[in-house]
Amino acid sequence: MEDETYSGLGNGGEIDTKVVQTFQKNFVQVQNILDQNKLLINEINQNHETKIPDNLTRNVGLIRELNNNIRRVVDLYADLSTSYTKSMDASSSDGDSNGAMKSGGNKRNRPA
């Protein structure tokens, strides 16, 4: 199962199980954070509507937490992007070693 690959990426490439598991793990983390952000935003809005000073003061901490969560989501997406790029580079270099052409190698030469 460690060396299992998934195919059907549209360009005929393959991606290994570890990469897929990393994507799934990161997407679950992102979704959990986004769900938490939804709750934070609802609480911030409710506190704002009450105009009660203690609730407005509490919003400062909630907004900081929201900002930190947004940073975490950005970092997770950056990690996903890096992982995807590395996996595509690895699969294209695997194709190169098997004699496959790079995407830029499909140009036709004009007759002289």
Domain presence at residue 40: yes
Distance in angstroms (rounded) separating the CA atoms of residues 58 and 44: 8
pTM beyond 0.85, yes or no: no
Q: Give residue 69's domain range.
A: 17-83
What is the pLDDT at residue 15? 61
Quick check: is 11 in a domain?
no
Please tell me the distance from the alpha carbon of residue 13 to that of residue 100, in angstroms, as a whole number.
Answer: 11
- With respect to residue 55, please indicate whether it lies within any of the assigned structural domains: yes
Q: Is residue 91 assigned to a domain?
A: no
Is residue 75 a part of any domain in this protein?
yes
Q: For residue 46, what are the contacts with CB-CB under 8 A and spacing of at least 6?
A: 55
Report helix, strand or coil for 111.
coil
Give the SS3 label for residue 7: strand
The count of structural domains within the chain is 1
Confidence at residue 16, expressed as pLDDT on a 0 to 100 scale: 74
Residues of the chain falling short of pLDDT 70: 1-15, 94-112
Residue 36 covered by a domain = yes
- CA 67 to centroid of chain Cα atoms: 18
Tell me the C-alpha distance between 47 and 52, whole Å.
7
